[in-house]
Chains A and B, each alone.
Chain A
């Protein structure tokens, strides 16, 4: 029987295999950031251990860096300490760091591919659940905890149970790909399979709906695999993937011979069997808006807020959780999505802050201003994205519309830096999680695509972007 792409990557990285139980898997790339690493480096010091492969490890600071003027000191002392701690750890252990002033600084999952560090067929880990993003290039990319960060630093390996393989087939062609985006595809998937639908699996996204997408759109899809509970999501690499990585700052010198090898080997065999399957046809899907407190609580922009009974389909636990979500979100069942007024707009995060996201959002804005009731910001995913966007004049489009134009970081996706919602504020956000308090205690998050966020900023409430001229 044939093998899936995931199985091939898995098998080629086994260092030790046991009859029952986990296998020891070799890790090709380890990405490190300031929040989940300090305790891991402490562990190394305590046990007098070294970093085994500093040449396979890179670090940046993204989670709690301020996104305003970089020449100013960091006011939050605990953030400053965490950032200084990463600087010291990287220096002590010989790890390459893209610090706050580096032109390569940015969200770790944005800079990995941009620098050519992410490669097809590799295993990639980072102490961050959205590591799944790198799967867009046909890598097995896993989010890990701090103990595992320490384990990889020391041994360049991880003990892992082999996840099950899950095929998600995305079929059909979108009628308006500028209005119905990769974000809408992945939110539709999560809405259908649920936030636990992928638990214990690695998803492989397949079908025309996926191959049609650009690399940046594929990253949006793989990024949110973890919101369906999956450990990782990946896509068979093709010419688009190989082109994206060609000629980047850290792309290997023997790249073309690597590409030849990948073309031959990094494929799911036609007779391979997946342990789980789901198919979504995207021909008629609408832009999506989340209404609740997990990404599965999502509906079409043309729909109204569901009642807990409609949402739960008879499951008492889901009903209770929908009631709690509606109370937290201060929403009434039956309210049309397009009647929901918003206070804030956040265009950013490892899900949707790449150049293409900013270009698409800027097309919605054109020469309009944002609603006077709305405060809006764009936080590019990396300093490189910021520079490229400025070269295209996108910063001026956003600034003229009264958006704030910031420096790169995770920012209001998780609000570890000063970019947070105030209690009760409602935000149209291009990020990945609408959990209670995620963007600020008491803040209310609606997950949407960059074009939906930009349109909401202009109108002051959600609108169906399919009705706008996006040429």
Chain B
């Protein structure tokens, strides 16, 4: 995984609550067996109509957001299905930070496995950020978001921060505890399936 670097970009406002993973990547695109190339399916049914024509009203179809790396959205983002394809699509499309008042649990933990930073902030601050038209800076190291007018600090679990900043392989970390896992298995009374 690539180490997470400072992000400078304009924000894309997606002013909706309860955005579910079926909207982020519709199910017809879950049949692929690789992780790459999901960006073109991001919010597919909101970006395109039934004839696959672009819906001009949808925010991602506004060219001024083409190079945005920061999505700012509503409460309970990523609810529903556990599909990690949702993160692969957001990343492949070009986003690397997502800011919302809250995230669904599985989506939230999926983010950190892919070098993607979810930041949860107070509802009022998120609403204000959605109005921001200038470039903002997200610095994970200092846990500060700089806008044209203010600095906003955010919280993150120290272990998750380390994983992102150093681009650590989660599994390699875990395998350092091989002794502990083996010891647990020796004591465990849970029978095998087969």
Contact = CB atoms under 8 A, between A and B. Distances in A.
Contacts of B190: 28, 56, 119, 122
Given A24-B174, A147-B110, A441-B26, A161 B82 contact: no
Contact of A437 (B26, B110, B158): B26
A15 B79 contact: no
Interface residues of A, number: 84
The B interface, classified by DSSP as helix, strand, loop or mixed, is: loop
A197 B80 CA distance: 13
Contacts of A43: 171
Contacts of A415: 27-28
B158 A20 contact: yes
A129 B177 contact: no
Interface of B: 15-18, 20, 22-23, 26-28, 30-35, 45, 50, 74-76, 79-84, 87, 102, 104-106, 109-110, 113-114, 157-160, 170-171, 174-175, 177, 180-181, 184-185, 188, 190-194
Contacts of A229: 76, 79, 104-105
Given A147-B114, A442-B50, A161 B157 contact: yes
A437 B19 CA distance: 13
A43 B188 CA distance: 28
Contacts of B159: 18, 20-22, 159
A16 B184 CA distance: 10
B170 to A, nearest CB: 6
Contacts of B114: 147
A431 B160 CA distance: 35
B105 A200 contact: yes
Contacts of B171: 43, 47, 49, 150-151, 154-155
- Which of B33, B83, B114, B184 has most A Cβ within 10 Å? B33
A254 interface: yes
B180 A15 contact: yes
A143 interface: yes
B84 A145 contact: yes
A435 B87 CA distance: 19
Given A38-B34, A85-B33, A199-B102, 17 more contacts: A26-B185, A36-B82, A39-B35, A82-B31, A82-B32, A82-B33, A129-B82, A144-B106, A146-B84, A154-B175, A155-B171, A161-B157, A317-B75, A321-B18, A415-B27, A423-B50, A437-B23
B17 A155 contact: no
Nearest to A37: B33
Nearest to B174: A155
A157 B181 contact: yes
Contacts of A252: 191
Contacts of A195: 18, 76, 79
B30 to A, nearest CB: 5
- Which of A20, A78, A129, A144 has most B Cβ within 10 Å? A129
Contact of A199 (B50, B105, B180): B105
Given A321-B18, A433-B80, A196 B102 contact: yes
A147 B105 contact: no
Contacts of B105: 163, 199-200, 229-231
B31 A155 contact: no
A441 B43 CA distance: 12
Contact of B193 (A58, A76, A156, A414): A58
B22 A321 contact: no
Contacts of A461: none
A312 to B, nearest CB: 11
Interface string A172-212: 00000000000000000000000110011000000000000
Nearest to B103: A199
Nearest to B107: A145
Contact of A16 (B102, B113, B180): B180
A155 B175 contact: yes
A148 B18 contact: no
B193 A29 contact: yes
Contact of B17 (A42, A200, A321): A321
Given A55-B193, A147-B84, A321-B16, A416 B106 contact: no
